Amino acid sequence: MTDAPPSGGQIAQVFAAQRAGAERLRAAPVAQRLERLERLRAQILRHRRQIDAAVQADLGRPQTETELAEWIPLLADLAAHRRNLARWLRPRRVRPTVATLGTQGWVEREPRGRTLILAPWNYPFVLTLGPLIPALACGNTAILKPSELAPQCAHVLASLIRAAFDASEVAVIEGDATAARALLELPFDHIFFTGSPAVGREVLRAATLNLASVTLELGGKCPAIITASADVERAADAIAWGKCLNAGQTCIAPDHVFVHAAVYARALERFKRRFADAYGDDPQQSPDLGRIVNVHHTRRLADLLEDARARGARVLHGGAIDVPRRFVAPTLITDVPEGARILQEEIFGPLLPIIVYGSQEDLLARLNAVPKPLAMYVWTRRRREAQELIARTSAGGTCINEVGRQFLQHNLPFGGVNHSGIGSYHGEWGMRAFSHERAIVAGRIPLAGVFAPPYGARARRWVSLLRALAAWRA
């Protein structure tokens, strides 16, 4: 597409072109699908400098964080698909049931067809091209809609995709929410959305009108828990890093921390020291701290902090915000009352409320009183304690004595639950998201020849035999 916002007619034209593309790609053998992935990989590497420059321009993110959070998982996921695609696409045989004796059954993966990937701004490449990898591997076409809040990244994505694919296979539609709404009116076969729960609800409503399947990768308020038995220093260091990665604009970032009363004072001191060591006395001058994506979101974070202060919360460290320069300092907040907005809304920035708790029952009550998060982080030296917290709560994923590593583990599903998402992806789970598992039964003995009416003695004997066999196996 051009730099001008696309019209509804242009969007419909691309969508129509992908009908023929979807029919052509449906039967593509493994070799052709691998070739498409190789085209994508080659263009990602060719656009490396443009990608890094665009991320810096839009987000001011340190290059080390871009390497860790965008490049490494993206290239690792491509490698995993190249190694495993033939196995993942292989038909899977199943055993016959009592009622289907004399048949063969198997499951084949078929592409969903025309897919739409609505991507966010916070990790504009891995969260756009990451879902595209299984979409291509499954034999789908795709239209990508990157976020207009990261415009330089959107331009690079469009250039990269144009260099790799014809628009009948993969296309990028730039533009604002108007373009997104125009896309959602079209009868896609599958929609993959990454973003906020509020927008996720709108996507789900739009998908129901065309009965499209959906994958919703949302967010929520991800809690971190430092128990009495935890390695407090290691926990605080890791949580501080996870909170400030990409200036806190990460869907799996620790949103707030519950700290057991027995280690509360130690934890506060360690958090203060870690923030000071990482970003210095003047974090606005630190090259290792990114910026908030725009002035609107910076002002939103300033409002959250001001509301907490007005209600009696105490800023223990940091607190500096420069709205025009999109800067928010890593900030520790204590004594936050229950009604504060910062405990109700997803923060998505480097503001970290620290909440003291006394008993595990009190902690569980608070964890289960709010919507299910995308991630939960448990710090403990007692395996049974971690197991109990996992068994008695619900979250999209959980790390024990780690932060954020679940996103990098592509042999596990990544996704939320209820408020934090529907469905999952990464590795083989991405193949499940972008394909339909088609059930196939091949018969050798026509059922109608034995059981068709009029029901005589022969049919009754066969029914009695199968009923007895079913009862025996039960």
Residues carrying an active site annotation: 217, 251
Beta strands in 318-396 (DSSP E): 321-322, 327-328, 331-334, 351-357, 375-379
Judge whether residue 1 has pLDDT over 50: no
Longest CA–CA span in the chain (Å) reads 91
pLDDT per residue over 417-451, tens digit each? 999 999 999 999 999 999 999 999 998 777 666 77
The number of beta carbons lying within 10 Å of the beta carbon of residue 54 is 22
Structure-model confidence comparison of residues 433 and 474, the more confident one: 433
Q: How far apart are CA 7 and CA 14, in angstroms?
A: 11
Task: Locate CATH 3.40.605.10 in the chain.
Answer: 8-218+424-436
Q: How far apart are CA 354 and CA 330, in angstroms?
A: 13
In this prediction, residue 3 has a pLDDT band, given cuts at 50, 70 and 90, of: low
Judge whether residue 49 has pLDDT over 70: yes
Residue range 8-29: mean pLDDT, rounded:
92
Residue range 168-188: mean pLDDT, rounded:
95
Task: Tell me whether strands 103-111 and 92-94 are parallel, antiparallel or unpaired.
Answer: antiparallel
> Residues 371, 196: contact at Cβ < 8 Å?
no
Q: What is the CATH number of domain 8-218+424-436?
A: 3.40.605.10
Judge whether residue 473 has pLDDT over 80: no
Q: How many residues does the chain have?
A: 474
Task: Locate CATH 3.40.309.10 in the chain.
Answer: 223-414
Q: How far apart are CA 342 and CA 295, in angstroms?
A: 18
> Residues 153, 54: contact at Cβ < 8 Å?
yes
pTM over 0.75? The answer is yes
pLDDT per residue over 275-302, tens digit each? 999 999 999 999 999 999 999 999 999 9
Q: What is the CATH number of domain 223-414?
A: 3.40.309.10
